[in-house]
Amino acid sequence: MPENKATHWPANPPKLHHTTFTTLRMAQMVEWYGLVCGLRPVFQSDEASWLTNDEANHRIAFLSPPGLKHPTDKGHETGIHHTAFEFGTFDMWINNYIRLRDHGIVPFLQLDHGITMSVYYQDPDGNGVEIQVDGFGDWADSSEWIANAKEFAENPIGTWFDPEKLVAAREAGLSFQEIHERTRAGEYLPEHIPEDIFLPEVW
């Protein structure tokens, strides 16, 4: 039998299933992820909770083991910058922005990356949470673009935008594609552009 040399990757790769966070704010975290991402607890206690917003048994877990300490400089420490959730359509995405805004929850970053249009929030512990919609409406097209577009290679971070200007553009009758193109062209820039993409320090 010939030897298989194609062993540098699994034949059937595993799919990303969940992310686990440690926290000293269990109740606040469970409530916040329910409001922002529609995650409901399958099991919840003061020590550990498992939440899902689809058919999986959990997508986010929270643990609060004894001896846990808050970070000292979370915004400038290595590790996960954010966890992302995606809506299937632009309307769903912008409607969710409006819903959260009306609850007093606003993003600290708003970027059109080309592959996605994204707003970034912080949970009660200061972790980043991205809520996005695919910029092409199709993963195959956005994958092709990120792999081959000179535009992305030259500017992978993307273009800043003011989400309220996107809301107004949709109310004026513009389509998703028109809004996306105008955002990339810099027509909806915010009054103040952040100096960096660090997580704001909440400690």
Question: Helix %, strand %, coil % for the chain, to 5?
Answer: 30, 20, 50
Mean pLDDT of the chain: 96
Averaged over 29-39, what is the pLDDT? 98
Report pLDDT for 7: 93
**pLDDT tens per residue across span 8-30:** 999 999 999 999 999 999 999 99
Report pLDDT for 202: 82
Burial 43-56 (b: 16+ CB within 10 A, else e): eeeeeebbbbeeee
Backbone angles phi, psi at 58, to 5 degrees: -165, 150
| pLDDT of 132 above 90 | yes
Averaged over 123-147, what is the pLDDT? 96
Identify the CA nearest to 116 among candidates 162, 156, 172, 154. Answer: 156
* pTM: predicted TM-score of the whole model, two decimal places: 0.95
Backbone angles phi, psi at 30, to 5 degrees: -60, -45
Strands of 123-191, DSSP E: 128-134, 159-160
| pLDDT of 203 above 80 | no
**pLDDT tens per residue across span 138-170:** 999 999 999 999 999 999 999 999 999 999 999
Ranges of H-type helices in 20-80 = 26-37
Q: What percent of the chain has pLDDT over 70?
A: 100
**pLDDT tens per residue across span 55-77:** 999 999 999 999 999 998 888 88
Q: Which two tokens stand for residue 197?
A: 């993409």
Neighbours of 177 (CB within 10 A): 12
| pLDDT of 128 above 90 | yes
Report pLDDT for 184: 97
Q: Which two tokens stand for residue 158?
A: 């993307």
Report pLDDT for 75: 86
- First vs last C-alpha separation in the chain: 60
Backbone angles phi, psi at 150, to 5 degrees: -65, -35
